[in-house]
Amino acid sequence: MTTNEITPATNFIRNIIEEDLKTNKYEGRVHTRFPPEPNGYLHIGHAKSICLNFGFAAEYEGGLCNLRFDDTNPSKEEVEYVESIVEDVRWLGFDWGDRLFYASDYFEQLYEYGVQLIKAGKAYVCDLSPEETREYRGTLKSPGKDSPYRTRPVEENLDLFERMRAGEFEDGSRVLRAKIDMTSGNLNMRDPIIYRILRAEHHRTGNKWCIYPMYDFTHCLSDSIEGITHSLCTLEFEDHRPLYDWFLDELKVYHPQQIEFARLNLSYTVMSKRKLLALVEKGLVSGWDDPRMPTISGLRRRGYTPESIRNFCERIGVAKRDSTVDIALLEHSIREDLNKRAPRVMCVLRPLRVVIDNYPEDRMEELDALNNPEDPDMGTRKVPFSRVLYIEQDDFLENPPKKFYRLSPGREVRLRYAYFIKCVYVVKDEETGEIIELHCTYDPQTRGGGAPDGRKVKATLHWVSADYSLQAEVRLYDHLFFEANPGEDADGRDFTAGLNPDSLETLTSCRVEPSLAAAEPGSRYQFERLGYFCVDTVDSKDGAIMFNRTVTLRDTWAKIKKANKR
Ligand code: ATP
Ligand code: MG
C-alpha cells in the first residue's frame, strides 16, 4: 500500500460526521481543531490526533481545522513549546490557514462567562484551603460535602471575583467554583474550580492576569467560541463531557459535539509529556529531539518522513478501546516509504582491511552502481574500486560454522557491483591475535558481478575503497526501553528503570563511499545490507558527517503478520 492508494477506512468518527452532514446538524460544516497545551513537545500520539483532526477537515468540502493552544497554565508553558508544536504540525504536512489561536486570546471573554455564571447563581467564590477542598470533595465511594461558602450571595461573589482579578488576594487563597452537585457520582461535577489565583507570567498575556481559568472551563468554551463542530479528544475526557455540557448549557452558548477516541500507546516507549520531560530533564536523552524519543522532532531527526507517520496513523485507525500498538508497525511504515525513495549507497560500519594482491597498486576504476533497484528512474552512480578495500568485520570468519556463507579463507564471494574475490590468507597481530587484514585475489572476468563460466558464489558483500572513501560517524539506535510496556510499578519503581542501556551505540570509524561527500543534513539513504540512515541535522558538520540509523532492514512487522496468518 502506498500513500495514494489509501482510501480512508470507515470508522466510528467518520460515521458520526457523515450522519451530521446528512441531517445538516451544523449547516453542513465540518470544523475541527487540534488543541495542544504548550507544555512539552508533540509525540507520535499527538500525530494521531493531528491526522484525525486535519484529516477530517481536508476530507470534506469547506472543512476547516484550527490549531489552538490551550494555554491556561503559565507555570508549565513556554514559547519554546509553542514554536516546536507549530513546526511539527506544519512538517507533518498540515495547514491551519489563518486559524492559529490561543485560549489566552479568550481570557476576557472567559472572565465574562465566569461573571455570567455568578449572576445566574451557578458559581461562587470559595475560601476553603486546597486541603479542605480536597477533604470536602469526597471520594469515588463517598459523596462530597457542600462548602460553607456555597451559599454566598451573588453580590458578594461578584465583588470577590472582581477583587480576585484586581490582585487583592494571595495565590491559592480563594477560587471561583461552579455550583453543581457535591454528591454527584462523577467527581468532575462536584463543584469544580473554574478560576484560581496564580501570579505567574504568561507567555502571551504577561502579567496582565493574576487569575487563570481552569483547563476544563477553558477548553469547552474555546471550542464553542471557535464554532467547532466535532471536538475530538481522547477517552479520558469522557468523564468531563457532562461538565462541558453543563457549562455550555448554563451559559446558553453554541454547543460543539465532543467525540472521544482511544489514545495511541506504542510498545517499548512512553507517551506522556510528563515522562518525556523527565527523560529530558534528567539528561537520560540528549533532548526532546533525541532520535530515540517518540516525539515528532525525535522521529524527524531519526529520519522518519511525514508520509510514513501519516501512513502509520491511517493504518492504526481509531477505536473506542485503549490498546498498545506494536512499534514494529511504525518501523514497517518508514521502511516501506524509504524502500521506494531512498538512494542505495555503501557504508562499512566496522571496517576490516582487504588487500587485493593481484590488483595493480596505482589503479582505480569506477564501477556502475544502481541508485535504487526499486526505481530505475533514480539512475546509477560511480563507485571507485582499488587495491585496498574495506569490508564489514562480521562478514569474515576464519573458522566459519555451517551456513555461514560469507568470506572465509579459501572461500569466494561477490563484492556488490564489482568482482568476485577469494580470500587467500589472513594477517594477524602477533601479540593479540586480532585480525588486521585479509589478502585476497580478484577475478577480472567477473567485473559487474557475474562469472562467464557460470560459477556461483553464495554471498554478496558491501564494501568501500580504502583510499576513495570517507570517514563517518554512525549512530545505531535501538528501542528506548527494553520493556514492552514501561511504566511505574505498584511498589513505586520509577519508569526509567525500564530504559534500554544499549539504545545508542556510536561508531566513529565507519567508511562511506565518496558520493556522500555532498550529502545534505536530513537526507536519507539505504546503506546496502544494513538499513536506512539519515544525515544528522544537528551534529553533522562539513568534513564530519554523522548518520543516524532510522531503522534496520529486518522487517519484524512482516514476520508478525505472516505468523498471524498461519
Ligand atoms: P500527554 O498525556 O502526553 O501529556 P496531553 O493529552 O496532556 O498529552 P495535549 O497537549 O493536551 O497533551 O494534547 C493535545 C491533543 O492531543 C489532545 O486532544 C489529546 O487528546 C491528544 N492526544 C494526546 N496524547 C495522545 C495520544 N497518545 N493519542 C492520541 N491523541 C493524543
Ligand atoms: Mg491534555
Domain ranges in the chain are 12-261, 276-343+472-565, 347-462
Atom 4 (ligand 1): residue with closest C-alpha? 273
Quick: pLDDT tens for 491-516.
778 999 999 999 999 999 999 999 99
Say which residue, 566 or 523, is predicted with more confidence. Answer: 523
CA distances from 126 to 73, 189, 213, 563 (A): 20, 16, 15, 61
CA dist 229 and 256 (Å) reads 5
Distance of CA 48 from the midpoint of ligand 1 (Å): 9
**Nearest-ligand number for the alpha carbon of 263:** 1
Quick: pLDDT tens for 320-334.
988 899 999 999 999
The proportion of the chain whose per-residue pLDDT surpasses 70, expressed as a percent, equals 98
Amino acid 426: pLDDT: 98
Helices 306-316, 327-341: inter-axial angle, 10-degree rounding: 140
Quick: pLDDT tens for 250-304.
999 999 999 999 999 999 999 999 999 999 999 999 999 999 999 999 999 999 9
Phi, psi (5° rounding) for residue 414?
A: -100, 140
Is pLDDT at 559 greater than 80 in this prediction?
no
| Confidence class for position 30, pLDDT limits 50, 70, 90 | very high
Residue of 263, 382, 416, 422 marked active site = 263
| Confidence class for position 5, pLDDT limits 50, 70, 90 | very low
Distance of CA 46 from the midpoint of ligand 1 (Å): 5
Say which residue, 169 or 7, is predicted with more confidence. Answer: 169
H helix runs in 226-351, sequence order? 241-250, 273-281, 296-302, 306-316, 327-341
**Nearest-ligand number for the alpha carbon of 34:** 1
- Tell me if 294 CB under 6 Å of ligand 1: no
Distance of CA 87 from the midpoint of ligand 1 (Å): 17
Quick: pLDDT tens for 191-203.
999 999 999 999 9
| Confidence class for position 315, pLDDT limits 50, 70, 90 | very high
Quick: pLDDT tens for 367-410.
999 999 999 999 999 999 999 999 999 999 999 999 999 999 99
Is pLDDT at 3 greater than 70 in this prediction?
no
Quick: pLDDT tens for 203-232.
999 999 999 999 999 999 999 999 999 999
Is pLDDT at 566 greater than 70 in this prediction?
no
User: Which of ligand 1's atoms lies nearest the C-alpha of 271?
Assistant: 3
- Tell me if 48 CB under 6 Å of ligand 1: yes
Q: Which residues contact 188 (CB under 8 A, 6 or more apart)?
A: 216, 239, 240, 242, 243
Q: How high does pLDDT run on average in the chain?
A: 95
Q: Which residues contact 151 (CB under 8 A, 6 or more apart)?
A: 124
Quick: pLDDT tens for 442-471.
999 999 999 999 999 999 999 999 999 999
List the one residue out of 166, 171, 218, 168 whose CA is nearest residue 192: 218
Distance of CA 101 from the midpoint of ligand 1 (Å): 18
CATH class for the domain made up of 12-261: alpha beta
User: Which of ligand 1's atoms lies nearest the C-alpha of 274?
Assistant: 4
Atom 29 (ligand 1): residue with closest C-alpha? 263
| Confidence class for position 9, pLDDT limits 50, 70, 90 | low
| Residue 331 appears among annotated catalytic residues | no
pTM score, two decimals? Answer: 0.94
Is pLDDT at 558 greater than 80 in this prediction?
no
- Tell me if 45 CB under 6 Å of ligand 1: yes
User: Which of ligand 1's atoms lies nearest the C-alpha of 276?
Assistant: 3
CA dist 178 and 527 (Å) reads 61
CA dist 373 and 387 (Å) reads 27
Terminal C-alpha separation, the chain: 22
Amino acid 468: pLDDT: 97
Residue of 137, 174, 273, 411 marked active site = 273
| Residue 273 appears among annotated catalytic residues | yes
- Tell me if 219 CB under 6 Å of ligand 1: no
Q: Which range, of 5-14, 63-72, 75-84, averages the lowest pLDDT?
A: 5-14
Amino acid 4: pLDDT: 43
| Residue 374 appears among annotated catalytic residues | no
Bridge pairing between strands 545-552 and 531-535? antiparallel
H helix runs in 65-171, sequence order? 79-91, 107-119, 130-137, 154-165
CA dist 510 and 352 (Å) reads 10
Same fold, 276-343+472-565 and 347-462: yes
- Tell me if 264 CB under 6 Å of ligand 1: yes
Neighbours of 225 (CB within 10 A): 18
CA dist 7 and 54 (Å) reads 16
Which triple of cell numbers denotes residue 341? 525513495
User: Which of ligand 1's atoms lies nearest the C-alpha of 237?
Assistant: 20
CA dist 313 and 44 (Å) reads 9
Distance of CA 537 from the midpoint of ligand 1 (Å): 27
SS (H, E, C) 457-492: CCCEECCEECCCCEEEEEEEECCCECCCCCCCCCCC
- Tell me if 46 CB under 6 Å of ligand 1: yes
CATH topology assigned to domain 276-343+472-565: Ribosomal Protein L25; Chain P (2.40.240)
Is pLDDT at 63 greater than 70 in this prediction?
yes
Mean pLDDT of 145-173: 98
Task: Tell me the three state secondary structure of residue 274.
Answer: helix
The residue count of the chain comes to: 566
Is pLDDT at 547 greater than 70 in this prediction?
yes
Q: Which residues contact 4 (CB under 8 A, 6 or more apart)?
A: none
Quick: pLDDT tens for 82-130.
999 999 999 999 999 999 999 999 999 999 999 999 999 999 999 999 9
List the one residue out of 324, 312, 311, 315 whose CA is nearest residue 270: 324
Instruction: Evaluate whether 219 touches 35 at the Cβ level (below 8 Å).
Output: yes
Is pLDDT at 8 greater than 80 in this prediction?
no
Task: Look up the CATH superfamily of 347-462.
Answer: Ribosomal Protein L25; Chain P (2.40.240.10)
